[in-house]
A and B are shown apart, each in its own frame.
Chain A
Amino acid sequence: MKINKTFVSIVSLFTMLMVLIHTPLLAQDVPAHAITNVIVHMADGSVVENSNIVWRNGIIEQVGVNESIPFDAFVIDGGDSLHVYPGLIDGLATWGSPDIPRDLPRLENPGKPTYDRAGAQPNRIPAHYLNEDKSIEAAMKAGFTLVSLGLDGQMLPGHIQPFNLSAAKLTQAHAFSDPLALQGSFDTAPGSWGSGAYPSTQMGVMAYFRQLMYDASALQEHMMYFENHSDMSQPEQNDVLEALFPLVNREYPLFFEVDSKEEIERMFRLQDEFGFEVVLVSAKEASALSEELKARNIAVLASLDVREMPDWLEKEIKETEAKDQEKSISSDDQADNQDVKKMELTEEELVFRLKQKQAWQEEINNLATLVKSGIPTGFTSDGLSPNEIQKKINLVTEYTSLSKSDLIELMTIQNANILGISNRVGAIKEGNSAHLILTDGPLFEKGTKIHVQVSQGVINDFMED
């Protein structure tokens, strides 16, 4: 199904003329856009057929079956068969981030590194580091309309800031809002053995993090005192510590990338000490701590980077299937042979395999378990390309209770909730920003193509090529 471009052009021409003629009389000087006759997928998973969507100035004005189309609208006709979904949101990506520097010079005293050499750069803001990155266009083509960008780094790489994916080359003008969180991890100071620095271990990172928080508290207090007492010594200018004030004051969440159960537990220790809000990022073993996460009201931006089942298990399943097929026509001997083959494994290996199977099942079910436990769960691309994401979606929906529409929910409204921007994005409704995608079939199904991506009202038509 192609969009009726002739129609669009005629309407456009007409609209232009009308605008020119009636400019002094028009209250709204920016023309509207509309997508008509489409199947709209709502935030709650429900579907409305033959629906129209109208937006102006990047804001959705109308959604519904019988909505009239403003006379000045650029119209895309969905011809009753195209689907519209809310634009996908990537909870955290580092596209456009400068690479972590290699070949760092050896430090004279690795025990007292500068903040950046220790891995603490909370003062960095993504808007200042928007390098060209092919991942951005690829993500747009895959249906993403908004991303919260972080930076590549270590312990504290910088701020997290959402951007509209309305152009392949992002600039500060594409920022959806100001930064809304700080980014963190247990990654140690950058550098190789020769050029590394303190902290070089996870326990070191934890201690260094604490010290930063103490130093930031003291600086903030000094600044507050100085405001009313200019006769006291002047506080130092320290961008790094100042960037931590929102965390010290518990005004900002910390988006913390962590996977193993033990590391998540260590994260809890820091949270207990400083009381800030935490959002876990990646969190591949988070479901093992579901109850604790729920009690702490911690949300998760989960990675979809699950692994295929172990080779031996895949082989075993195939053999069982083949055996089942042959069963009706073959004798019992063949079945016995299979059992004999299995018996050749030592008892230890058999037990190991059972444990491994269980481990894989827990791993692939991480997301499903989090959702089932009622933990606010969203999605981060976590370095996966759109192709890889599609593969992982297939894997997760094949082996867990999650459906594709569950995953779409994580990538839209759930992510918007976690980022604290659900008053503007994540669902198709009046008053929200126009973040939409137009597809020719159910999203993530084989063969479905994304025709148009709309981010903050800006249309990118990928079928034009």
Chain B
Amino acid sequence: MKNIVNMLLFLVVFSVGSLAQEKGSVLIQNATLMTITDGIIENGDVLIVDGVITGIGTDLSAPIGVEVVNGTGKYVMPGIIDAHSHLNTVSTNEARNPVTAEVTMEESINPNSVSIYRAVAGGVTSIHLMHGSANVIGGQGETLKLRYGVSQDEMRFADAKRTIKFALGENPTRVHGQGNGIQPRTRMGVEQIIRSHFDEALDYRVRREAYLVAKEAYEGDRRGRRVPPVPVAKNLRYDVLNDIIDGEILVHCHSYRADEILMLMRVFNEYGIKNYTFQHANEAFKVAPEIAKNSAYTSVFADWWAYKFEVYYSTAYNATILNKNGVTNSINSDSNELIRHLNHEAAKTVRYGETSEADALKMITINPAIQLGIDKMVGSLEVGKHGDIAIWSGHPLSIYSKVQQTYIDGKKYFDMLTDPADMRIDVDSDDSYREAGFNTFIQGREEDACMSDVFQFIKQ
């Protein structure tokens, strides 16, 4: 018994703990390959070498020393990508100002949450770690690879596009309007917060650039005749807002109602902002053609609604309608429980709206990848993409299928057959065995994950 325990500890400490940014190699043979972008390949092989997919086809052979996995009867698909998650935040909402573009989830990553491992066990390989929805312009997001056991920095998805959270409707008006008696108190106010801050940011940019030019001229003036400029301090918040206007940051906007979705598209068109995603967007189906026309994206729940007034007018056909209208749509979890079976959520679009299986799978792979600006690297089985894959016991959209193995960068992070007894890391010497590291999904779904940290605050 003691030997088993020691071996398990060895596995935990040395297989997980030392994985930092390690890349692996593996050949999976004779499986059904759900490539996502190139149909289904029966009896196919996938070869991953040093973290990158180098071969997809049949009869591939493994380079010397590369592990071979027999995929007979199994399905291989790219790792699931969740475009909306608060899985392992330290804090979610910097809820004391309606605009907090300067804060970033990059500095709010908890790499030790056991939820990461649970998500990996559901075939998820990447998430979009988001700020909450308390603020009109919340903090920047961070796209993570779920490399459980590495440091916070090593979890970050290198070269992913920068993102930021916006939020419309009840949450920001409740927190700031009702909670603090400041703007925004209404949906009109929300729009004006966005406009006024973009305008301030643009104004700042003009002043800052003029100062930098004048400073250079002053410092280069050897005769000393020039008057120095009054310095304009670098402003982190406005810099980020300008980066949004410049297209360097992708906006992911928490929204429900059709009218506010249209409002934001109008505002963004005025400021030239493109490639943004409406998160939740329960009423997006009402304005699907308009969303498609603006080349905006949506990331929705399969069938979750009625948890507050603005979410009553909803339908399980939302994803299907958006998809049929040519909107690039993803299905997200926004929940540490749902993230473990996003395949079921995608399958609901097939069940309700008769979305094709191929499109349903896109909604949890390549489509969220597009929305996060990582589609050149992940989201499908293609040569040259990252070796982020999951092996399923059956068709991934079947309720009976289970994830058997999950690989990130070709390195195995989950294996059902050798799933250790206790996967908690960063155990505290004072923790109780029963409570340590466990979090909310055990008690069921959270009411409104986007509003964590602020419920107590707004009740006052």
Among A210, A269, A349, A352, find the residue whose CB has the most chain B CB atoms closer than 10 A: A352
A14 at the interface (CB under 8 A from B): no
Interface of B, secondary structure class, is loop
Binds B, one of A4-12, A192-200, A369-377, A435-443: A192-200
Q: Of residues A189, A194, A231, A269, which shows the largest number of chain B Cβ atoms within 10 Å of its Cβ?
A: A194
Chain B's closest residue to A268 (CB) is B153
- Contact residues, A331-389 vs B (CB, 8 A): 343, 346-356, 358-360, 363
A266 near B5 with CB under 8 A, answer no
Using known A-B contacts A207-B102, A210-B236, A351-B420, determine if residue A201 contacts B108 with beta carbons closer than 8 Å: yes
Closest to A113 in B: B96
Q: Does B359 interact with chain A (Cβ within 8 Å)? A: no
The answer to whether B98 touches A211 (Cβ under 8 A) is: no
Say yes or no: B96 contacts A200, CB within 8 Å. Answer: yes
Is B43 an interface residue, CB under 8 A from the partner? no
* A246 adjacent to chain B (CB < 8 Å): no
Q: Which of B33-41, B71-79, B268-276, B427-435 contacts A (4 or more CB under 8 A)?
A: B427-435
- The residues of B that contact A218 with a CB separation of less than 8 Å are 231-234
List residues of B (100-154) whose CB comes within 8 Å of A's CBs: 100, 102-105, 107-112, 139, 151-153
Looking at the complex, which of A31-39, A66-74, A104-112 is the stretch in contact with chain B?
A104-112
Contacts of B96 in A (CB 8 A): 110-111, 189, 196-200, 204
Q: Is the CB of B429 within 8 A of A211?
A: no
Beta-carbon contact of A206 and B107 below 8 Å: yes
Which chain A residues lie closer than 8 Å to B112 at the CB level?
262
- Do A203 and B94 have beta carbons less than 8 Å apart? yes
Chain A residue numbers with a CB within 8 Å of B199 are none
Question: A229, B228: Cβ atoms under 8 Å?
Answer: yes
Q: Out of A110, A343, A346, A363, name the residue touching B180 (CB < 8 Å).
A: A110
Closest Cβ–Cβ distance, residue B252 to chain A (whole Å): 17
Q: In the bound complex, do residue B422 and residue A109 qualify as a contact, i.e. CB atoms below 8 Å apart?
A: no
Within 8 Å of chain B (Cβ to Cβ): is A391?
no
Residue in chain B with minimal CB distance to A225:
B228
Which residues of B lie under 8 Å from residue A358 when comparing CB positions? 9, 13, 427
**CB-based contact A201/B94 at 8 Å:** yes
Whole-angstrom CA separation of A460 from B421 in the bound complex: 60
A352/B234 contact (C-beta < 8 A), A262-B152, A343-B1 known:
no
B235 on the A face (CB < 8 A): yes
- Assess whether B449 is interfacial by the CB under 8 Å rule: no
Q: Are A310 and B151 in contact (CB under 8 A)?
A: no
Which residue from B9, B181, B182 sits with its C-beta under 8 Å from A351?
B9
A-facing mask of B426-449, CB < 8 A → 1, else 0?
Answer: 111111010010000000000000
Q: At the interface, yes or no: B186 with Cβ under 8 Å from chain A? A: no
Chain B positions 8-42 with a Cβ under 8 Å from a chain A Cβ? 8-9, 12-13
Given contacts A193-B460, A201-B93, contact A207 B231 (CB under 8 A): no
Shortest Cβ gap from B106 to chain A (Å): 8
User: Does A217 sit at the interface, judged by CB under 8 A?
Assistant: yes
In the complex, chain B residues whose CB is within 8 Å of the CB of A265: 151-153
Q: Is B227 an interface residue (CB 8 A)?
A: yes
Contact B230 A233 (CB under 8 A): yes
Does A180 make an interface contact (CB < 8 A)? Answer: no
* In the bound complex, CA of A204 to CA of B94 (Å): 6
Pair A204/B5 contact, Cβ less than 8 Å: no
Interface residue A215 (Cβ < 8 Å from any Cβ of B):
yes
A197 to nearest B CB, angstroms? Answer: 6
| Nearest CB of chain A from residue B415's CB, rounded to whole Å | 17
Q: Which residue of B lies closest to A345 (CB)?
A: B433
Residues on B with C-beta less than 8 A from A210 are 102, 236
The answer to whether B94 touches A199 (Cβ under 8 A) is yes
Q: Cβ of A307: which chain B residues have Cβ within 8 Å of it?
A: 429-430
Instruction: Tell me the number of A-to-B contacts counted with CB atoms below 8 Å.
Output: 168
Evaluate whether A359 and B428 lie within 8 angstroms (CB atoms) in the complex, with A111-B182, A198-B97, A222-B231 already known: yes
Query: How far apart are the CA atoms of A200 and B139 in the complex, in Å?
Result: 13
Q: Are A193 and B456 in contact (CB under 8 A)?
A: yes
Please give, as numbers and ranges, the residues of chain B lying within 8 Å of A108 by CB-CB distance.
181-182
Which residue of B has the minimal Cβ distance to A364? Answer: B429
A232 touches B228 (CB 8 A): yes
- Is there an interface contact between A352 and B107, defined as CB atoms closer than 8 Å? no
Smallest beta-carbon distance A444→chain B, Å: 24
Q: Among residues 207 to 263 in chain B, which have CB atoms less than 8 Å away from a CB atom of chain A?
A: 227-237
Query: Distance in Å from the Cβ of A271 to the closest Cβ of chain B?
Result: 14
- In the complex, A262→B110 CA distance in Å? 8
CA distance A214 to B204 in the complex (A): 14
**Contact call A201/B103, Cβ cutoff below 8 A:** yes
> B154-190 CB contact bits vs A (8 Å, 1 = yes)?
0000000000000000000000000011100000000
Contact of B5 among A110, A221, A351, A360 (CB under 8 A): A351
Task: Name the residue in A198, A200, A225, A261 with the highest tally of chain B Cβ atoms < 10 Å from its Cβ.
Answer: A200
Given contacts A351-B5, A351-B422, contact A231 B227 (CB under 8 A): yes
* B417 CB–A CB distance under 8 Å: no
B313 within 8 A of A: no
A-to-B contact residues, CB < 8 Å: 108-112, 189, 193-194, 196-204, 206-207, 210-211, 214-215, 217-219, 221-222, 225, 229, 231-233, 261-262, 265-266, 269, 307, 309-310, 343, 346-356, 358-360, 363
29 residue pairs from A and B, CB less than 8 Å apart: A110-B180, A111-B99, A193-B456, A194-B460, A198-B97, A200-B96, A201-B90, A201-B108, A201-B453, A203-B104, A204-B96, A207-B237, A214-B235, A217-B233, A225-B230, A262-B110, A269-B107, A310-B429, A343-B1, A347-B4, A350-B5, A352-B433, A355-B422, A355-B424, A356-B428, A358-B13, A359-B427, A359-B429, A363-B429
9 tightest CB-CB pairs across the interface, nearest first? A111-B97, A218-B233, A360-B429, A198-B96, A225-B228, A201-B91, A218-B231, A207-B102, A348-B421
Extra contacts, 17 of them, besides A193-B456, A219-B233, A358-B9 (Cβ < 8 A), are A111-B99, A193-B457, A200-B95, A203-B104, A203-B108, A207-B94, A207-B100, A207-B102, A207-B104, A211-B237, A262-B90, A265-B152, A346-B421, A347-B8, A352-B433, A356-B428, A359-B428
